[in-house]
Amino acid sequence: MTTIKTFVFNPFQENTYVLFDETKECIIVDTGCHSQEEQQELSNFIEENGLQPKLAVITHGHVDHVMGVAYIQKQYKLDIAGNPEDLPLLQMATTQAMMYGMTIDDVPSISINLNEGDVVAFGNTKLSVIQTPGHSKGCICLHNSEENYLLSGDTLFRGSIGRTDLPGGNYEEIIESIKDKLLPLAPETRVYPGHGEPTTISWEKENNPFLT
């Protein structure tokens, strides 16, 4: 059984997720910790729970989701997994941060490519990769069909969708990604987005104004 711990980090109020199961192996998804206090909060949780980090996953390359990737890689010697379409965004991350008056370390490059149908595994847990371009070219979601949960990055939010006016964004693509790949998932699938509160596929089908 997967435990999902949510941290809300950085001025963009981004959701960083630590996923672990009974083996104590874990992955960190969208490491957004920016300040030393946030970095310490993340590390304290990992250490206090005896977790063994195995991988850092990036759902997409926008700066708010990668601010802590350099830290987490250095701290735990992790590979970085994500879709290669977003490599240009990772290379631009320090410049993006400066535009918002912030500084970050250079974001490490992706060392494990994740494409449609690939599997992210840790402990006894497996997550399937779903490519969902639209918020950026390389957006991915992570889906566990056994426990019915989805990490949706910035593709799908409660009652909303990801912005399409940022680098790599395309409105038609994100709508197609959601309708063709996410809405067909089991209605009870719990959705953990990159910002804001969790939701479910059934709730979004009935209430999301972008999807009617």
Question: Strand 80-82 and strand 52-57: pairing?
Answer: parallel
What is the CA angle 202-127-150, rounded to 5? 25
CA atoms within 13 A on the CB side of 209: 1
**Main-chain phi, psi angles of 143, to 5 degrees:** -125, 130
Q: Please report the domains of the chain, with CATH numbers, ordered by start residue.
A: 3-207 (3.60.15.10)
Report pTM: 0.97
Q: For the segment 133-144, what is each residue's pLDDT rounded down to a tens digit? A: 999 999 999 999
pLDDT of residue 26: 98
Provide Rg for the chain, Cα atoms. Answer: 16
What band does 154 get if pLDDT is binned at 50, 70 and 90?
A: very high
Expressed in percent and rounded to 5, the helix, strand and coil fractions of the chain are 25, 30, 45
What is the tens place of the pLDDT at every residue in 55-81? 999 999 999 999 999 999 999 999 999
Other beta carbons within 10 angstroms of residue 42's beta carbon come to 23
Res 103: pLDDT: 93
Burial 141-153 (b: 16+ CB within 10 A, else e): bbbbeeeebbbbb
